[in-house]
Chain A
Amino acid sequence: ILNVEQSPQSLHVQEGDSTNFTCSFPSSNFYALHWYRWETAKSPEALFVMTLNGDEKKKGRISATLNTKEGYSYLYIKGSQPEDSATYLCAHHQGAQKLVFGQGTRLTINP
């Protein structure tokens, strides 16, 4: 099992500000990277699946980029809103439908 690291572990942002955080993963034998959002007391929700170097995905105010050569992905949130408060998880696909998750970034939006 190859480690996946996320930073920072927690983040407090003022409403209306933009923010970003990082997922680092092994760059060899890359298959796919998944991003999930996990709100308290709810199910983790899939945000993006990224496969190609240079991929950029966008969903509303949230976007993600992928660099498979150096082994990192960034998640960006533009104009943070209170409903963006959640833990954001990245997961590296390591073959045979197996996902290895990072420890998550816990985002809190202060009104």
Chain B
Amino acid sequence: AQTVTQSQPEMSVQEAETVTLSCTYDTSESNYYLFWYKQPPSRQMILVIRQEAYKQQNATENRFSVNFQKAAKSFSLKISDSQLGDTAMYFCAFMINNAGNMLTFGGGTRLMVKP
């Protein structure tokens, strides 16, 4: 079975600064996807970024980037130039490539961006 661990239940960052959220996972699979989802206080879960395990290049999406360390089974999310709208719960998630449709989520990190 796969497990996803987010060791930081809560974090805060000043507006315009950079913050990194950590995520580790455990799997014996070699072909999988990793995701970061954001859940603002309004509760709509939104996909932030995805990473295919076979790709060595770290995914980036505007101010969001990941540091994917496959050997260490680590998948951290870096948010640059933090904005007040980044305040949300952030969930790391894992999906095996050939399973088609099963996501395993971490417990989440609550991020507060302070003005």
Q: Is A bound to B? A: no
A interface vs B, CB < 8 Å?
none
